């Protein structure tokens, strides 16, 4: 029966095989097997049984330097790091000079950073002095003027080298890319729509490899690509504050995304998300969460933990009911729920007393509850493209309201309480069923734009001559043929009338 690394490990663990025999059997597989996966598992098994013999070191050294398979060289490097860190320097010198695989170079650089000796530091310094990238080299020149390169630790130097390796690889794949360097490290990286920058078939349909090494990255832009997933290793980007993944094809998010504790801005608009992980509620610094145009039908209860969230955009999803609590989200100023399947205003939003903008357009609302007037800080209320027949009086108590958009509903009248909307600047009543406007409309002294096209109006109330702030009056597709004479003065003051 052919030996397998799993069988050898099992026998060793159960004391059916001594350490020396286990090592010899694993070495035999590594040297003779044509099964690549079996060789990888055998190399890793050497670390698990702490095979710290000279013969194992010589084997790993030989694999690291000369094996034709990148994954074998990489695996050998990781085992050398775990078992032979104190004597790893000699083989690493050769590899650092001759290796071409990015995976292996990054691993070797990381190991050199851990060794932190005079020799390892010298290797890293020599590599840094050969950096030809003008942007990074110029930044390093300024950095080393403030602090001599010799005073940096091997770990700090290895991070600089790794950042350089990754940028070089990205430029090779995608041509000119946008990035910003600080202290020799990449803090901002733009890979937006990189597929359009290159010739041939190089497209970004997988999350770029090795970005987890860019641990100082604060701003990552990956919009307008063809990404379908985010790797679990995303949690290693623990400095990231701005993350733009919009206009991709992402179907799900890993639980590990909740580990991004300093993330402030997360843009996921225009993807294919059907659900969110519970861990999304752990993004304690998040202020902007854009989920517009996905396929969400529900939200996790943990969303309420986003106490610093100021914007939540859920426009264009598959929401019909929101069975979550928003209590504690006292910082939320903008909530977009438009273009969903909502037929009743969700009670869970009632607690959002700091809202300044509420988007509800493109739903199936027939009626609004009277408590909608409790949003006393609201400045913009979007109710277009619904099935509203009438509106509650309480809207008239929203003293800060500046924009009220009601086009394409079934309205025939407005509550008299609206006359108290002293700060209202835009009122859009287009494509409703108005046959007349109330005389009190002339009391809206701050009104700058009034859109009433597509109604059955034949005349306008004379009180409109008091709308001295009015700049635009849209009368298209109404039955009003002539401009009323009482609006002449307003026209002379700059009022534009469209009809």
**pLDDT value at residue 196:** 61
CA distance 409 to 68: 69
**pLDDT value at residue 219:** 98
**pLDDT value at residue 194:** 86
Yes or no: say if 302 and 283 are a contact pair by the CB < 8 Å rule.
no
DSSP string computed for 307-329:
TT--EEE-TTS--S---S--TT-
**pLDDT value at residue 203:** 79
CA distance 373 to 381: 11
Yes or no: say if 319 and 303 are a contact pair by the CB < 8 Å rule.
no
Q: What is the number of other CB atoms lying within 10 angstroms of the CB of residue 21?
A: 13
CATH assignment of 356-499?
A: 3.80.10.10
Treating both helix axes as pointing N-terminal to C-terminal, what angle do 102-115 and 118-129 enclose, rounded to 10 degrees?
Answer: 140
Q: What residues does each domain of the chain span?
A: 5-164, 356-499
Distances (CA, A) of 253 to 258, 272, 330, 443, 452: 10, 11, 26, 51, 44
**pLDDT value at residue 481:** 85
Yes or no: say if 311 and 287 are a contact pair by the CB < 8 Å rule.
yes
288-290 and 265-267 strand pairing? parallel
Low-confidence spans in the chain with pLDDT less than 70:
1-2, 195-202
Three-state SS at 263: coil
Residues forming beta bridges with residue 451, ordered by sequence position: 428, 474
Q: Which CATH architecture has domain 5-164?
A: Alpha Horseshoe (1.25)
**pLDDT value at residue 175:** 87
CA distance 10 to 17: 9
The one-character DSSP state at 255 is G
Token readout for 83 is 């078992």
472-474 and 265-267 strand pairing? unpaired
**pLDDT value at residue 2:** 63
**pLDDT value at residue 103:** 97
Phi, psi of 235 (to 5 degrees): -65, -15
**pLDDT value at residue 116:** 87
Residue 114: enclosing H or E segment and its boundaries? helix 102-115
Residues forming beta bridges with residue 478, ordered by sequence position: none
CA distance 182 to 191: 18
CA distance 400 to 113: 58
Yes or no: say if 364 and 388 are a contact pair by the CB < 8 Å rule.
no
Q: What is the number of other CB atoms lying within 10 angstroms of the CB of residue 147?
A: 11
Burial call 170-209: b when 16+ CB within 10 Å, e when fewer: beeebeeeebebebbbbbbbbbbebeeeeeeeeebeebbb
Yes or no: say if 375 and 355 are a contact pair by the CB < 8 Å rule.
yes
- Token look-up 């509903």 returns 409
**pLDDT value at residue 3:** 81
Treating both helix axes as pointing N-terminal to C-terminal, what angle do 19-32 and 36-48 enclose, rounded to 10 degrees?
Answer: 150
Token readout for 232 is 């679990």
């Amino acid at each position: 029966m052919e030996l397998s690394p799993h069988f050898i490990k099992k026998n060793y663990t159960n004391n059916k095989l001594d350490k020396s025999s286990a090592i010899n059997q694993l070495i035999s597989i590594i040297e003779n097997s044509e099964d690549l996966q079996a060789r990888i598992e055998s190399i890793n098994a050497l670390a698990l049984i702490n095979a710290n013999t000279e013969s194992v070191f010589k084997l790993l050294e030989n694999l690291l330097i000369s094996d034709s398979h990148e994954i074998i060289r990489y695996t050998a490097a990781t085992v050398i790091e775990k078992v032979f860190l104190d004597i790893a320097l000699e083989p690493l010198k050769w590899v650092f000079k001759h290796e071409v695989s990015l995976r292996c170079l990054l691993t070797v650089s990381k190991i050199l950073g851990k060794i932190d000796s005079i020799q390892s530091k010298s290797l890293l310094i020599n590599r840094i002095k050969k950096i030809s990238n003008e942007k990074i080299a110029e930044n390093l020149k300024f950095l080393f003027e403030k602090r001599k390169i010799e005073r940096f630790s091997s770990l700090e130097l290895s991070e600089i080298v790794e950042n350089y390796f990754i940028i070089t690889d990205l430029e090779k794949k995608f041509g000119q890319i946008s990035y910003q360097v600080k202290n020799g490290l990449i803090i901002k990286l733009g890979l937006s729509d990189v597929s359009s920058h290159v010739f041939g078939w190089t497209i970004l349909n997988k999350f770029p490899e090795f970005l987890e090494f860019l641990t100082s990255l604060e701003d990552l832009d990956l919009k307008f690509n063809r990404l379908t997933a985010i790797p679990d290793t995303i949690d290693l980007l623990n400095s990231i504050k701005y993350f733009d993944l919009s206009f991709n094809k992402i179907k799900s998010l890993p639980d590990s995304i909740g580990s991004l504790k300093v993330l402030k801005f997360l843009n996921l608009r225009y993807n294919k998300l059907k659900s969110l992980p519970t861990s999304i509620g752990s993004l304690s610094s998040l202020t902007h969460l854009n989920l517009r145009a996905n396929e969400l039908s529900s939200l996790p209860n943990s969303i309420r933990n986003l106490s610093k969230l100021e914007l939540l955009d859920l426009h264009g999803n598959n929401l019909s009911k929101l069975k979550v609590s928003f209590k504690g989200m006292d910082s939320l100023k903008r909530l977009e729920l438009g273009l969903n399947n909502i037929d009743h205003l969700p009670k869970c939003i009632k607690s959002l007393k700091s809202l300044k903008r509420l988007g509800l357009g493109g739903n199936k609302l027939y009626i609004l509850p009277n408590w909608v007037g409790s949003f006393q800080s609201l400045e913009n209320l979007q109710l277009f493209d619904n099935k509203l027949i009438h509106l509650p009086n309480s809207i008239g108590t929203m003293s800060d309201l500046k924009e009220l958009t009601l086009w394409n509903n079934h309205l025939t009248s407005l509550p008299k309480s609206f006359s108290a909307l002293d700060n209202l600047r835009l009122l859009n009543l287009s494509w409703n069923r108005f046959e007349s406007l109330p005389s009190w409309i002339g009391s809206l002294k701050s009104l700058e734009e009034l859109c009433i096209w597509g109604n059955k109006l034949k005349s306008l109330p004379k009180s409109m001559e008091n709308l001295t702030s009015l700049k635009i009056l849209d009368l298209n597709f109404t039955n009003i043929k002539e401009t009323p004479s009482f609006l002449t003065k307003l026209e002379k003051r700059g009022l534009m009338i469209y009809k």
